[in-house]
Amino acid sequence: MKLAFSTLGVPGTSVPEVVRLAAGNGYQGVELRAHPEEPVHPGLTPGERAAVAEEFRRGGVAVLAVAGYARVAAEGDDEPVAAELAGLVELARDLGAPYVRVFPGGGGQDPAEADATAARRLGAAAPHAADLGVRILLETHDSHRAGADVARVAGTVGHGSVGAVWDVMHTWLAGEEAPASHAVLAPHLGYVQVKDIASAEDTTPLPLGAGVLPLRTCLDALDPGAWVCWEYEKRWYPDAGELPALLAEGREYLLRLGAPKQ
């Protein structure tokens, strides 16, 4: 198991400090939140992108993914979404990241229409992503919260450069058991996002193991070399504890859960 954390947990933190936190706490990678309010986003110049990539290379830390906010199932014209996807894929290529994370964002549409929109847009973006050596991963989230929802879209696209991110909180909130989530997502899976919360009603981030999510069951389903990313949503819950103080303990907890059974 290879471990990463998301910069959603350390909003606004500089790239050198993110690299220091990862390397100093034994994380092999980082998921970079690609938003204009963050240090890394699609508006960076070529020189700025090269500097970010070099910072990670020097620190021995991988850029696991560019976590974008494209909503591929959203109503509206395809062109703005296509441009957003292209920009995220190109940023990932420039940073050496194998993955781009996107959201469904289907809202209250008929599920079949949302599926068709997402599959059409992802299918159109897939050849460009393949040319650049990047996979676009649809996260289990919002309108497509269950693994079965995301697997339906990825299976319709049927392209190796389109896959899935398994956010274990959302599949749990959808009422889907972890083995069932893994079974449908496994053919498409890029990496897994873990977190912990107190309940379905209180999703304030907690230290790993302090909440109700079935993390052991989720990790038991994974291949030994899978990437696991801790998404601690500090950006949305400013009163939550600070992630840097939790990173070392969180790493040890995940390694214990992922250790081979005796």
Q: Grade residue 258 by pLDDT with cuts at 50, 70 and 90.
A: confident
Tell me what the pLDDT averaged over the chain comes to: 97
Percentage of the chain lying above the pLDDT 90 cut: 97
Q: What pLDDT score was predicted for residue 260?
A: 61
List b or e across 3-25, with b for residues whose CB sees 16 or more CB atoms inside 10 angstroms. Answer: bbbbbbbbbebebeebbbbbbeb
Nearest in space to 97 (alpha carbons), one of 31, 34, 36, 48: 31
* pLDDT, position 261: 57
- Domains and their CATH numbers in the chain: 2-258 (3.20.20.150)
- Whether the full predicted model's pTM is greater than 0.95, yes or no, is yes
The per-residue pLDDT for 64 is 98
DSSP SS3 for 108: coil
Alpha helices in the chain (DSSP H): 15-24, 46-59, 78-95, 111-132, 147-157, 168-173, 178-185, 215-220, 247-258
Mean pLDDT value across residues 123-140: 98
Sign of CA dihedral 141, 144, 145, 150: negative
